[in-house]
Amino acid sequence: MSPPSAYGQLPAGVLGSPVPFTLSVPEAAVAQVNTLVSQALIDRPTWYNGLRANPATATFGLSRSWLSTAQSEWATNYSWSDAEAHLNSFPNFMINVTTTSPSNKQDFNLHFAALFSKNESAIPVILMHGWPGSWFEFAGVLDLLADKYTPETLPYHFVVPSIPDYGLSTRYSETDDDGIELTMEGASEALHELMKDLGFNKYVAEGGDVGSFLAQTMCWEYTECRAFHLNMLFLSADQLAEAASLSNFTVTPAEKAHLKYADEWGTTGKAYASEHATRPSTISLVVNTNPLAMLAWIGEKLIEWSDYRASPSLESIITHASYYWYTGSFGRSMWAYRSLFKSVGGPLPAPVISLTKPLGYSNFPDELAALPQSWAEHYFPNLVYYNNHDVGGHFAAMEQPAAFLSDLEEFLAIVGPGVMSA
């Protein structure tokens, strides 16, 4: 067993200039947050925010009692310094990356954490989060890897970025009047350039939420991305309609329940996304009035989208809200919804997806998108790995790090030889 910090030696062949980074929020900023949280006003009791409100079942959203408890916990017991120390226990870096495609010439300052191997045959893997997540959704996975291997025996290089415009990853022109609005293609190119600058001309992409779309785009666009593993995958509207009408598909009772859950979310759970996509300025200005407002908006989703049998701790939810607040990144993170939700109530755009490069899929029962195995095998001839789980939701790596890592290692065992030799 080695501490995570032991995996910080950059691999041979690095082309860019990654700089070690330590997160350090000034004490004055932490004190200000504590004051703002303590003084935040919570709405009076109503018919909606009392016993009938339950974020775990998506009924009306957060309850007033939950938010009141969270306010007290944040103001009196929560320690940002402890959270910060945990985040800094992993090797963290910053790197300047430039994209050059004609529609996306931009300069990025990207943050990433990593576990680098000293094994010359290690497989490079990029792990990508989404909203309202962060790179440290994968902290439990990184801890497990550090416990299982040494820097000499680790079979992989794990690169875990703050995806563009999230957290500590920024663009130099993001506030310019003539700046470029970030798109899925633009963010994918930036992350692809990150992997190339680290010296990886062959790599595997993994993602959930926004990271799922990024992984699909990277594997579609770039030959260097040799395989992809997902824990969320939306079929197109046409595919969904066709699959539902085909009687020869075998769908288990558990998969039927998952399809029902996903259909309900598609009907009642996407209002936040339409707000992000169509009124990004308003929602950002509202949420950024107070850290407790940010906690409510983010916390609802962290609870609702997780498996209620493995819900994230209140401490974890506060850490996510704190991180978005201290990095000033909530408003920047709206770009993903501008890319995905073009119209209110409309279907998600069909993602570009490779049907030739190896695909792996981990199916967790409370994921927002349901993909029965028979459907996956029908639509994706390149599917080489599929695994069903009994517990887990949208934040699979955070909720079930051991199961997530086991799936990923099984997938990498299948595709690894081809990735590195092709």
Decide if 209 is catalytic: yes
From the CB of residue 380, how many other CB atoms can be counted at a distance below 10 Å?
A: 18
| Cβ atoms of residues 415 and 384 within 8 Å | yes
Query: Which uninterrupted H or E stretch holds 152?
Result: none
Beta-carbon contacts of 194 under 8 Å, excluding residues fewer than 6 positions away, are: 16, 95, 97, 110, 112, 126, 159, 161
The amino acid that residue 121 corresponds to is S
Q: Is the dihedral of CA 52, 57, 58, 61 positive or negative?
A: positive
User: Given the structure tokens 């695994």, which residue do they identify?
Assistant: 387
Q: Of 166, 272, 337, 361, which one is the catalytic site residue?
A: 337
251 vs 254: CA distance, rounded Å? 8
User: Looking up tokens 């029902």, which residue turns up?
Assistant: 260
Question: Is 394 among the catalytic positions?
Answer: yes
Residue 129: which of 18, 205, 185 has the closest Cα?
205
- Residue by residue, DSSP assigns 32-59 as HHHHHHHH---PPP-TTTSTT-BGGGTB
Annotated catalytic residue within 165, 209, 307, 366:
209
CA separation for the pair 212, 353 (Å, rounded)? 10
324 noted as active-site residue: no
Q: Which of 111, 157, 192, 394 is catalytic?
A: 394
Strand-strand pairing, 383-388 and 203-207: unpaired
Instruction: Give me the active site residues, please.
Output: 209, 337, 394
